Amino acid sequence: MAEEMVAEPLLPSDPEVVGRYRLDARLGVGGAGRVYLARSAAGECVALRVINRDLLARADARWRLAAEVRALYRVTGPRAARLDNADLHGDPPWLAAEYVPGRTLGEHVLREGPLDAPLTAALGIMLADALGELHDAGSLHRDLKPRNVILGPDGPKTIDAGLAVLTEPFGPAYRAPEQVAGQADTTAADVYALGATLVYAASGHILYPDRAASSLLKAIVDPYTPPNLSGVPEELVRLLAAMIAADPAARPSLEELRGRLVRLAGGQEALDDLARELIEWAHGGPEAYQPGVDELEIEPAADDVDEAGADEADMDEVDVPGPDVEEAGSDEPAPFDPETTRPIGPPLDRPGRLDGPAVPGAAAAGRGSRRGGQP
């Protein structure tokens, strides 16, 4: 049976309310700040991220985040955790996203072992769908990895899309060579990250295991240092190797990738059974459900477990918010709509001619999900 996410109790320094959400527990902390388990007046659970003030020191930081939020709010579909609300005028700003209960893919593989070939293929199809949802909205994930995939009661979902626009991801193990080299993110980089994630799911190790961070970065950008695909089922090796090709143009598009994964999974008719098996594998049975806030175990969390050789400081979280707001639960959070609610973050215009685009690779993102994900 998969363990539900273990939350930590709030500290006296934590606020009780942020925006129109009441905070119930801490879920974790990472490069972007602290994440809290929170709920609306209607009792809906969200993962509320309060952005670390230090990340906003650059003149263009809020603008970049605002552009990312505008794109993320257009994301629809079942595989990418939805953005519920945001306030980028806050001090500091915060994002409220769908809360997905369950283990991360990294935690579960570490405890239960790798997936077989059909389950890996089914997982790949669902995660490719998540990337398609993001790309169709004009966004990119930028930091797909096992820790950012939750094996939820309705199947796997990606979390933390777009947050890497503010900060360099801690774990470089899933970064494409062009990202390591400092080039703009594109849909092809997301395909690489998906390939690296599926290698971990199928083998239990990262592409370049047992390397220090500096050595890992050199290996990723060196086309003559082959990744370690040992343990990957033979029928998956060719496709996963194509997904992690050093040349972005050589990687398959999401459409091509999905078609090949469907064949490897045994055909479209097999997918429903595999999806149910994947949920049972993660949750111990098809009756898995999403617990309410009061059912969550809230206790001091154990130290994060590293994914087999991947020295990643985890995901997404955030620092403590600022001022108290109106009483918690006074009314239901208004849907986030930049046209009818508060503006989503000063400034929305480009702050300076030396600053880069708000969503690096966004034009490619819109095209890539349809034309092959090429840069």
Beta-strand relationship, 149-152 and 33-39: unpaired
Scanning the structure block, which residue is given the tokens 């995939």? 149
- Return d(Cα 15, Cα 9) in angstroms, integer: 12
- Return d(Cα 142, Cα 160) in angstroms, integer: 9
Let me know: does 278 contact 112? Beta carbons within 8 Å. no
What's the one-letter identity of residue 340? T
3-state DSSP helix/strand/coil percent for the chain, to nearest 5? Answer: 35, 15, 50
Which tokens belong to 36?
A: 């809290």
- Return d(Cα 144, Cα 125) in angstroms, integer: 14
According to DSSP, the residues that pair with 150 across neighbouring strands are 104, 157
Q: How far is CA 102 from CA 149, 163, 290, in A?
A: 10, 21, 9
Scanning the structure block, which residue is given the tokens 């072992």? 113
For residue 160, is it left (φ>0), alpha (ψ between -120 and 50) or beta?
left
CB-based contacts of 6, cutoff 8 Å, min separation 6: 297, 298, 299, 301, 302
Helices 117-136 and 362-371 meet at what angle, rounded to 10?
130
Let me know: does 157 contact 149? Beta carbons within 8 Å. yes
The catalytic residue among 60, 87, 129, 143 is: 143
Let me know: does 252 contact 260? Beta carbons within 8 Å. yes
Is residue 143 part of the annotated active site? The answer reads: yes
Scanning the structure block, which residue is given the tokens 């997905």? 100
Let me know: does 129 contact 79? Beta carbons within 8 Å. yes
Let me know: does 176 contact 188? Beta carbons within 8 Å. yes
Tell the burial category of 230 from Cβ atoms under 10 Å away from its Cβ (0-12, 13-18, 19+): exposed
Which three-class secondary structure state does DSSP give residue 188?
Answer: helix
Q: Which residues are catalytic?
A: 143
